[in-house]
Structure 1
Amino acid sequence: MEDSPLKKKLESCAEMEMKPTAWSISHRGGGTLQFPEETYESIMAGTRMGAGIQECDVVFTKDRSLVCRHAQCDLHRTTNILTIPSLNAKCTTPFTPANSTHPATAKCCTSDFTLAELSTLCSKMDGANPAATTPLEYLDGTPKFRTDLYAKTCSPILTLREYIEIVDNLGLKFTPELKTPEVPMPFPPGSDYTQEKYAQHMIDEFKAARIDPNRVYVQSFLYADLLYWLKAEPAFAKQAVLLDESADFGPMEDSVANLTRYAKDGVKIIAPPLPYLVTGDAKGEIVPSAYATRAKEVGLDIITWSLERDGWLAGGSDGAYYYATIGNVTSNEGDVFRLLHTLAQDVGVIGVFSDWSSTTTYYANCFGLVH
């Protein structure tokens, strides 16, 4: 990091006793640079690094159990399922090897399997090798900025109930994300398991565990889910988070304009990705975007995602996705703290999701954002 008052301040906190903080939010557990995501190991790593809020991405199985996976159809990337012939055969798209004209393909969804079948799987680091000619080769696709060093043991898929028990025992807060289904709803066709029943199912798991709604930040990308919770579960909707990636599919101006409607409808917290909130100016500084400014104007609290999800800032990525709008003013890993500084002091975010929770925890402790 280049010499600056920010660097001097951060250095002054090196011997500080770091405390857990809700400003530091785990992404997929918070330890996913080194541990398979959505696992007990990742949760414990993120917790040891001070994450005060723990995430579970919620999806449903064939027999309508709720489990933690980042996407309904990511089993072929995040587990060993392709190496088990009887389960590979049940995948939406079983493994097909690469050839001279096509990459290797596979698509395995939690809705393809019962909970009992999923309980036999081992989690792995997220990744796939498109040049693979065998299932084992396909699984060998971990990005180079992560590691397989701590992924050698079998980490089972967590159910939502197990996640709730783990996080409750740790005394932390929860942020379950209702993942938008990748199969038609209701599921299966002709059944009564509608999108609304799925949204209610997730809430009911917290009620059954007698979790105080004030400890829960329910999330969804699907606006209809937020509207349902606002009507049916107002206690949980007080901290409901609308995940917003709409500008990935349309003009940013439209996304900025929509913020007024969200606030009027009763949404309290908006959560866009990092690049929506910041930009680089002519002086090389990281400054708030028009989106960030408007969100505050209409009274929305802001959470953002996901720090350290992409590769190295100094690796020639020009910011990749998560740092795309500041790629022209960043050049080394210390610039992550410049980004956090703008998010905290100028944008005023109330929390940051991170794949390695120690970074956000350190900043939050150093600047008195422990809550």
Structure 2
Amino acid sequence: MDEGPLKNKLASCSENEIKPTAWSIGHRGGGTLQFPEETYESIMAGTRMGAGIQECDVTFTKDKSLVCRHDQCDLHTTTNVVAIPALNAKCTVPFKPAANSSPATATCCTSDFTLAELKTLCSKMDASNPLATTPAAYLTGTPGYRTDLYARTCSPILTLDEYISLVDDLGLQFTPELKTPRVPMPFPPGSNYTQAAYAQQMIDTFKAAKIKPERVWIQSFLYDDLLYWLKAEPKFAKQAVLLDESGDEAGTFPSAVANLTNYAKAGVKYIAPPLPYLVTVGKDSKSIVPSVYATTAKKLGLKIITWSLERSGWLNDESHGGYYYESIGGVTNNDGDVFNLLHVLAQEVGVVGVFSDWSATVSYYANCFGL
């Protein structure tokens, strides 16, 4: 990290006891940099690193049970499903080896399987090998800045009920994200399992577990889900979080900023864009400053959460952090710059929480600055 007041302040906290903080949110558990995501192990790692809120990305199975998966159709990269012939055959797109310059392919969704079938799978680091000619080879490909060291035991997929029980026992807060379905709704076609029924099922699961709404930060990328909760579940909707990636495509960022006004008028209280939406390079071409998105959200009274720290590779290579640092890549040149970003997010943007794949970084900063 570059020498300066921030480095000195952070160094002064090196012997402090790190306590859990709600400013540190465990992304997919918070230990995802080294442990398979959405698992008991990732949640426990993130918790030990101070995450005060834990995430479960919620999706549904063929028999409409709710489970924790970051994407409804990521089983082929996050579990060993393609290596189990009987289950691979049930995938939306079963494993097909690389051949004739075409990459290996597979698409396996939670909705392809019953809960009982999913419980036979083992979680793995999210990766695949596009050059694979066998299922075993397809399961490799973990990036060099991550590791398979702690993925050698069979960690089962968690149900939403199991996640709730675990996080409740740990005394932490919850942030379940209702994943956008990758299959047509209602599911199956003609049934009564509509998007609204799915959104309600997630809330009902927390009610059945007797979890108070103030401990739960429900999330979705679908604006219609927020509108449904605001009307049907106002107590839970007080902390409902609208995840926003509407400015990703070329030319769409101005409209993403403009849409903030509509969200605020509708009663949305929390907005959660990715890191690069909130910061930009200052006029001096050296500093990190709040973006127009950040300043607009604050003027509208929207509280801001952001994602996801420690999801990038090295910050000192040619990528300069990739997507999550693209708005400040020109001033990102060493791994210590993660704290420069956090400092602006905390002190100038005023975010109320940060998702992270390795909770220690956010927790350390939050504890050092009393957040």
Q: TM-score with structure 2 length normalisation? A: 0.99
* Secondary structure of residue in 2 paired with 1:207: helix
Match of 2:82 in 1: 82
CA-to-aligned-CA distance 1:10-39 (integer Å, 9 cap, x gap): 000001111100000000000011100000
Q: Distance in 1 between matches of 2:18 and 2:30?
A: 16
Match of 1:322 in 2: 324
Number of corresponding residues: 369
Q: Distance in 2 between matches of 1:141 and 1:85?
A: 21
Q: Distance in 1 between matches of 2:163 and 2:254?
A: 38
Q: Distance in 2 between matches of 1:219 and 1:122?
A: 26
Q: Distance in 1 between matches of 2:4 and 2:318?
A: 23
Q: Distance in 2 between matches of 1:339 and 1:97?
A: 41
2:310 partner amino acid: E
Q: Distance in 2 between matches of 1:283 and 1:311?
A: 23
Q: Would the aligned equivalents of 1:319 and 1:325 in 2 still touch at CA under 8 Å?
A: no
Q: CA deviation at 1:156?
A: 0.1
Match of 2:334 among 332, 335, 338: 332
Q: Does 1:354 align with 2:369?
A: no
Match of 2:304 among 298, 302, 305: 302
Q: Would the aligned equivalents of 1:78 and 1:127 in 2 still touch at CA under 8 Å?
A: yes
Match of 2:94 in 1: 94
Q: Does 1:2 align with 2:2?
A: yes
CA-to-aligned-CA distance 1:83-104 (integer Å, 9 cap, x gap): 0000000000000000122100
Q: Does 1:222 align with 2:222?
A: yes
Match of 1:57 in 2: 57
Structure 2: 5+ residue runs without aligned partners?
A: none
CA-to-aligned-CA distance 1:105-133 (integer Å, 9 cap, x gap): 00000000000000000000000100000
CA-to-aligned-CA distance 1:47-76 (integer Å, 9 cap, x gap): 000000000000000000000000000000
2:115 partner amino acid: L
Match of 1:271 in 2: 272
4+ long deviations beyond 4 Å: none
* Secondary structure of residue in 2 paired with 1:293: helix
Match of 2:110 in 1: 110
Match of 2:182 in 1: 182
Q: Distance in 2 between matches of 1:62 and 1:283?
A: 52
Q: Would the aligned equivalents of 2:178 and 2:219 in 1 still touch at CA under 8 Å?
A: yes
1:266 partner amino acid: G
Match of 1:292 in 2: 294
Q: Would the aligned equivalents of 2:314 and 2:320 in 1 still touch at CA under 8 Å?
A: no
Q: Distance in 2 between matches of 1:118 and 1:72?
A: 12
Q: Distance in 2 between matches of 1:177 and 1:253?
A: 26
Q: CA deviation at 1:141?
A: 1.2
Match of 2:258 in 1: 257
Q: Distance in 2 between matches of 1:12 and 1:106?
A: 49
Q: Would the aligned equivalents of 1:319 and 1:326 in 2 still touch at CA under 8 Å?
A: no
1:123 partner amino acid: S
* Secondary structure of residue in 1 paired with 2:247: helix
Q: Distance in 2 between matches of 1:33 and 1:136?
A: 22
Match of 1:365 in 2: 367
Q: Would the aligned equivalents of 1:129 and 1:139 in 2 still touch at CA under 8 Å?
A: yes
Match of 1:343 in 2: 345
Match of 2:45 in 1: 45
Q: Distance in 1 between matches of 2:156 and 2:131?
A: 27
Structure 1: 5+ residue runs without aligned partners?
A: none
